[in-house]
Amino acid sequence: MTELVIIGGGPAGMSAAVAAYENGIRDILILERDKALGGILQQCIHNGFGLHKFGEELTGPEYAWKYEQKVQELGIPVKLGTMVLDITEDKVITATNEEDGIFQIQAKAVILAMGCRERSKGALNIPGTRPAGIYSAGTAQKYVNRMGYMPGKEVVILGSGDIGLIMARRMTLEGAKVHAVCELMPYSGGLVRNIEQCLNDFNIPLKLSHTVVKIHGRERLEGVTIAKVDERRKPIAGTEEYIPCDTLLLSVGLIPENELSKSAGVSLDRITSGAVVDQNRQTSVEGIFACGNVLHVHDLVDYVSEESEIAGKSAAEYILGQNQAEKVHIPVKTDGKIRYTVPQVITEKKDISVFFRVADIYHNVTINVYDDKQEKVFSRKKLKVAPGEMESIVLKSAAFENAAELHFELEVN
């Protein structure tokens, strides 16, 4: 029996482990399939991490190293090169590595911290062939930054998420020509600072409301045809433009990696593709917690660390049987303009931070929270909200004292 098993040794898993240790748990094990700790940060060599958490600007590997050092100092055991294959509702974990073969561990509590993966090109419906030279932006990032290998010289990027923007700059600095970044939506999903320093600095055009309509080439990519799209995101005939290129990068979003959560019987949220959790980041299965990108996609790793500290602390309290808070069950609902919230359910009477994302760019909004009796329990104005930026508010416990349900609504003025 192991008290706490953490699946995944990225920033989420490491932060959760440190928090659990600091809250009194000693019998912890981190299982990580890669040969090193750090998760995806190992390949995010650009800076911009840690401003919020450490007050200094770090690169991805430097941010990960801060936590890796803590894990080492505290002597928290880690099994690297270990792939978790299955988790049951009773918290029996099946894993495999070269040394131990296939083995099982019974845990008292489990923290899911498996991160996310990129949406793949298979998920996209682009007509034409499937020649070599089409990569997800994250795969290209791994090639360039970890393996020191450039996938191509003439590049088009589909999707303006942050990873795509970062790779536009990275490949340009390494001597490639990035012809365009095409974005289906009329706005970019990336941070404005990345549009400024990754595209504008290098005069790379950002083509909003554009998509790739055809892929050309048999063995190797030879070019793509792009076109403008209308409000319904359908290509407009006559706007096609051919761009010769040997590389197409897809930066079309991330999805939480939840195959294991499903086998553990954890309920998933249709919108986030992550687990449904309460304010402690506990899933629908008691003693199984989730944090980081496996729960919902974060744009800033600093928030991943914060969320994971909550999960680690809560797991510790669960193991030690310390959680004495008064129990309630208050589902949190959204109006569609607000797409989702984390947590999706409140189970304790205490002040709670609620994180959420909106569906579109809205200006001059009021974030309102109502209870089931239509009583307004929270209200705050904001100049602008955007899908690319996660929002958060703090709900005082007094606000939902008598509520059976809470409704998050966005009023657009």
Partner 1 sequence: MTRELTCIICPRGCGLKVEIEDGKVVSVTGNSCPRGVKYAEDECCNPMRTITSTVRCEDGRVISVKTDRPIPKAKMFECMKMINSATAHLPIHIGDVIIEDVFGSNVVATENA
Ligand X SMILES: Cc1cc2nc3c(=O)[nH]c(=O)nc-3n(C[C@H](O)[C@H](O)[C@H](O)COP(=O)(O)OP(=O)(O)OC[C@H]3O[C@@H](n4cnc5c(N)ncnc54)[C@H](O)[C@@H]3O)c2cc1C
* Positions that interact with ligand X (CB under 6 A): 7-13, 31-34, 39-41, 44, 49, 83-84, 113-116, 118, 138, 141, 162-163, 166, 254, 257, 260, 292-294, 298-301, 304
Tokens of residue 80, six digits: 């690297």
Provide the minimum distance between the beta carbon of 149 and partner 1 in the complex, in angstroms, as a whole number. 9
Cα-Cα-Cα-Cα dihedral sign, residues 276, 87, 110, 80: negative
Provide the minimum distance between the beta carbon of 33 and ligand X in the complex, in angstroms, as a whole number. 4
299 is a site residue for partner 1 (CB under 8 A)? yes
A 10 A CB-CB count for 109 gives: 25
Which of the residues 103 through 122 are near partner 1 (CB under 8 A)? Answer: none
Instruction: Quote the CA–CA distance of 356 and 346 in Å, as a whole number.
Output: 14
Which residues, in sequence order, are bridge partners of residue 101?
A: 97
113 binds, among partner 1, ligand X, none (CB under 5 to 8 A by kind): ligand X
Q: How many helices (H) and strands (E) does the chain have?
A: 8, 27
320 is a site residue for partner 1 (CB under 8 A)? no
**Chain CA centroid to CA 279, Å:** 18
The site for partner 1, by CB under 8 A, has a size of 28
Long-range CB pairs of 193-200 (<8 Å, 24+ gap) are: 193/48, 194/162, 194/165, 194/166, 195/160, 195/165, 197/169, 198/165, 198/166, 198/168, 198/169, 199/165, 199/168, 199/169
Which residues, in sequence order, are bridge partners of residue 365?
A: 382, 412
Provide the minimum distance between the beta carbon of 166 and ligand X in the complex, in angstroms, as a whole number. 6
Stretch that binds partner 1, among 1-9, 13-21, 59-67, 88-96 (CB under 8 A): 59-67
Stretch that binds partner 1, among 14-22, 46-54, 252-260, 279-287 (CB under 8 A): 46-54
Tokens of residue 18, six digits: 């440190």
Nearer Cβ to partner 1 (58/275): 58
Give the DSSP H/E element, type plus range, for residue 42: none
Q: What residues have CB less than 8 Å from 180, skipping those under 6 apart? A: 156, 157, 204, 205, 206, 207, 210, 226, 243
305 is a site residue for partner 1 (CB under 8 A)? no
Phi and psi at residue 79, to the nearest 5°: -110, 110
From residue 181 to residue 200, the character string flagging contacts with partner 1 as x (rule: CB under 8 A) and all else as - is ----------xxx-xxx---
Among 56, 201, 240, 286, binds partner 1 (CB under 8 A): 201
Nearer Cβ to ligand X (12/377): 12
Stretch that binds partner 1, among 45-53, 100-108, 119-127, 153-161 (CB under 8 A): 45-53
61 is a site residue for partner 1 (CB under 8 A)? yes
86 is a site residue for partner 1 (CB under 8 A)? no
User: How far is the first Cα of the chain from the last one, in angstroms, to the nearest whole number?
Assistant: 56
Nearer Cβ to ligand X (119/382): 119
Q: Which residues bind partner 1 (CB under 8 A)?
A: 42, 45-48, 51, 57, 59, 61-62, 65, 144-148, 170, 173-174, 191-193, 195-197, 201, 299-300
